Amino acid sequence: MATTTGAVRYSTGQQEIGDAKNFEWECPVPVNRFWDDLNWKVGRSFLQAHRADELAKLPIDPDSAQPVKEKLELLLKLLRTKLDDEEAANAPGTYYDADYKAWTNTWQGIMTLQHELDDPDEEQTLRMMTDRRKDKDNLSELHTLSGLLLAKGKYAQVQANEAPVRDWLDAKLGKHSPQAISARHMIAEAVWKQDPDRRVEATELFSELNGIIDGMSGTEYEVYQDEYREIVNESLEALKGGG
């Protein structure tokens, strides 16, 4: 797999997002037959788990028309091989201690692929990463775990988890950041689904959230405004429709 020299796409699906491409969560994913039918997050997490010299050696055909499931399984196999190789290379020590950031990126890639493949081990992976994080103030994994728990119907736990995550993201990135908006969105949805008697409270949370999205105008996060307005509005309509 050659390194990227042609067209790329970012989290919004666009090929040009201005200075937003410099945000730490953004990653240029190649535009080609292999990557185009995969979720952008899959591309980001896989690519960020490898150095450029490693990517150049991987058996990935950019013109591949394999079924999506086969592509995902290939990427997961490659990441697990990388994990095994790194553990062996760092013995008798550990990959975790030798390069914690690379270890985290590798496991994030594995977790993302587990999610796409509906692997029941995804939650175990996320909880392991949360428990083993070296910076206990970093709540990124807890934020991701909340998304999984929301899908599993654990609404009270999501609300409890995301309250400190929201505050942490507000302080770290600002309340207009995509991540802070995502945290508020999960809280609002979790409140709505917990109890019909809390619908008024949840509606107020959605109203507050839309106000924050309106406030993205003129900020460094404006490029994400339309995407998040659509996500939140569609979510609220689905909830009102009984979804």
What contacts 174, CB < 8 A, 6 or more positions away? Answer: 180, 219, 221
pLDDT score, position 89:
98
| Band of pLDDT at residue 2, cut at 50, 70 and 90 | very low
In what helix (H) or strand (E) does residue 97 lie, and over which residues does it extend?
Answer: helix 95-98
Tens of pLDDT, residue by residue over 6-20, are 899 999 999 999 999
pLDDT score, position 3:
46
Residues in the chain: 243
Tens of pLDDT, residue by residue over 128-187, are 999 999 999 999 999 999 999 999 999 999 999 999 999 999 999 999 999 999 999 999
What phi, psi does 29 have (nearest 5°)? -100, 130
Structure tokens belonging to residue 155: 């609404």
Burial class (CB in 10 A: 0-12, 13-18, 19+), 47: buried
| Band of pLDDT at residue 1, cut at 50, 70 and 90 | low
| Band of pLDDT at residue 242, cut at 50, 70 and 90 | confident
The whole-model pTM stands at 0.92
In whole angstroms, what is the distance from residue 69 CA to residue 233 CA? Answer: 30
Average pLDDT score, the chain? 96
pLDDT score, position 41:
97
Q: Is 4 a residue whose pLDDT tops 80?
A: no
pLDDT score, position 17:
96
In this prediction, residues 116-125 reach a mean pLDDT of 97
pLDDT score, position 6:
83
